[in-house]
Amino acid sequence: MFAVRLTGLLFAMLALAMPALAAPVDYDRLDERLTRLAQETEIVGLAVAVIEDGEITFAEGYGVTKIGGDAVTDQTVFRWASLSKGVASTAVGQMVADGQLALSDTISKFKTSLRLPLGGEKVGTLDDLLSHQIGIVPNAYDTRLEDGGDPVQIRKALGKLNRTCVVGECHTYQNVAFDAITEIVSSVRGMDFEEVVRIELFQPLGMQDASYGLEALIGSYSWAEPHRKRRVDPKPVRRTVNRNYYRVPAAGGVNGSIRDLAQFARAQMGLEPDVLSEETLAELHTPRVYTRREQSSMSRRYGGHLRDARYALGWRVYKYGKPGYRVVGHRGAVDGYRSMILFDPELNAGVVALWNSNSRKPVGVQFEVMDMIYGLESKDWLQLDTPDNG
C-alpha cells in the first residue's frame, strides 16, 4: 500500500509541475464535427457532453435511438457497459470512507461465490479485485456468461483455472470475477447492491435517469436500442438487447443518459464533496498497476497520445499528450453499445460519450475535446476527412 501511495504522490507532483491552464472549447466546431459524425453510415445515434471549469457546458444528442426512430437527446438512456466498474468502485470507496470495510480486507472475508486458483481469494484483497489483479486469465469465462451461464456458478469455477500470476502482481481485466463486488456490498449493507448505488450515488448526485437492468432500460421515456455493423457491410443492423452482462451489474449493468454520465464525471473531479470526499477520490484514482496490453492498443491506434497506461480502482489513468497531463477515464463496450469517459481532475474538465453501435469512430471525440482543452493542435481524430486504417 505504501507503493500505491508513493505512485499517487508522484502523479500529484507531476500534476503540480504542469501548467493548470485550460483553453476554451470551440463548441461550434465540436457541434459541426459531431453532426458530420452522426451522418456516417456506421453511426446510428450518439450523445456527448463536455465539462469545462466544473460545469456541464455542452450536452447534445445526435442521430436516432434506432434506425427509423426518434432523435437522440441529452436525456436518452444508453447502456454504460464497463463504465459501470467505476460506479461500483465508487460505491466501495464510500463504504471505506464510512468504515464499513477496508480495501485491505480479503475477498474470503465476505459472503462471495468467487474462488481463485490455489485459494487466492484468501489472500486477495478488495484492492486486488477492484484493480483486476487476481491472478487469472483476462476476461475469464466471459464466454460462459454470454452463453447464459449463472455468474455465481461461473465464479465458483474460476478456482479451477491455472494461475497466471501471484494475486496482486499482474493486471488481467475481468467481468464475472469483478462482479463479486455486488455480493460483497450486499453482504455488508444487507440490501441489494443496485439499491445501495441508487441511494448513495444516483439520488444525491441528481442522476435522474440512471438505473440498473434491462427492464429499467426499456422502461425509459427515451432509450437507445443497440445496433451492430457487419464485417461485409458498414450499415448497422438493429439488435435485441442482450441480458447477459446485466447479470453482472458491478461490471456492466448501469444505464443512464449523457447528463447522468456528465454529472458522475463532475463528482469524480471532486465537485460533489458532500457525496465523494477528496480522500476517497484520491484512493480511487491512484494507479495500482501498469497495463501493458492497454498501452500497446493505445500506441497502435493513437500514436502515443495516451501513454503510461495504468489501472486504479475501476478507473484507467494515463498521461495525455506530449506534456504528459494526468487524465482519468474508462471505456465500455457491450453488444450494440459503446461508452467513454475522460477527464482532467486538476482542470475540472473532461468529456463523456455514449453511442448505440459498435463503431470505433466516436472514441476519437475524447481527443478532439481534450486537445481543445489543452490548447493542442487539432487533428482529425474522428477520421471524418481521413481513412481509418485501423
d(CA 223, CA 233) in angstroms, rounded, equals: 25
Q: Are residues 219 and 175 in the same domain?
A: no
pLDDT digits over 322-357, tens only? Answer: 878 999 999 999 999 999 999 999 999 999 999 999
- Structural domain contains residue 381: no
225 falls within a domain: yes
My answer on whether 78 and 185 are in the same domain is no
pTM of the prediction? 0.93
Q: Which residues lie below 8 Å from residue 117, measured CB to CB, with a gap of 6+? A: 135, 136, 158, 159, 160, 161, 162, 163
Which range of residues forms the domain containing residue 323?
Answer: 2-83+209-374
Total of domains in the chain: 2
pLDDT the model gives residue 115: 98
Q: What is the pLDDT of residues 359-388, one digit of tens each?
A: 999 999 999 999 999 999 999 999 999 765
Same domain, 131 and 264: no
CATH of the domain at 283: 3.40.710.10
Q: For residue 52, what is its C-alpha cell?
A: 469545462
Q: Which residues pair with 319 in a beta bridge?
A: 307, 326
DSSP state string for 232-287: TEEEEEE-PPP-GGGGSHHHH-EEE-HHHHHHHHHHHTT--TTTS-HHHHHHHHS-
Q: Which of helix, strand or coil describes residue 52?
A: strand
| Predicted pLDDT at 302 | 82
Q: How many CB atoms lie within 10 A of CB 387?
A: 6
Write the single-letter amino acid at 267: A
Residues 273 and 369 in one domain: yes
- 200-221, pLDDT tens digit by residue? 999 999 999 999 999 999 999 9
- Per-residue model confidence as pLDDT tens digits over 34-59: 999 999 999 999 999 999 999 999 99
248 and 279: one domain?
yes
**What's the CA dihedral at 101, 105, 107, 111 to 10 degrees?**
-40
Which letter, b or e, does each residue of 205-230 get, where b requires 16 or more Cβ atoms within 10 Å of its Cβ?
Answer: bebebbbbbeebbeebebbbbbbbbe
Q: Are residues 265 and 366 in the same domain?
A: yes
* Same structural domain, 44 and 189: no
Same domain for 173 and 24: no
Which triple of cell numbers denotes residue 380? 482529425
Instruction: Kindly tell me if the per-residue pLDDT of 165 is higher than 70.
Output: yes
Same domain, 324 and 240: yes
In whole angstroms, give the CA distance from residue 33 to residue 380.
Answer: 10
On whether both 72 and 123 belong to a single domain, the answer is no
- Alpha-carbon gap, residue 321 to 306, rounded angstroms: 6
Q: In sequence order, what are the residues at sequence separation of 6 or more whose Cβ sits closer than 8 angstroms to the Cβ of residue 330? A: 82, 83, 85, 86, 314, 315, 316, 340, 341
Same domain, 97 and 69: no
293 occurs within a structural domain: yes
How many whole angstroms from its chain centre is CA 318? 14
pLDDT > 50? residue 16 = no
Q: Phi/psi class of residue 84: alpha, beta or left (left: φ > 0; alpha: ψ in -120 to 50)? A: alpha
Q: Give me the helices (H) in 169-219, please.
A: 180-189, 193-197, 214-218
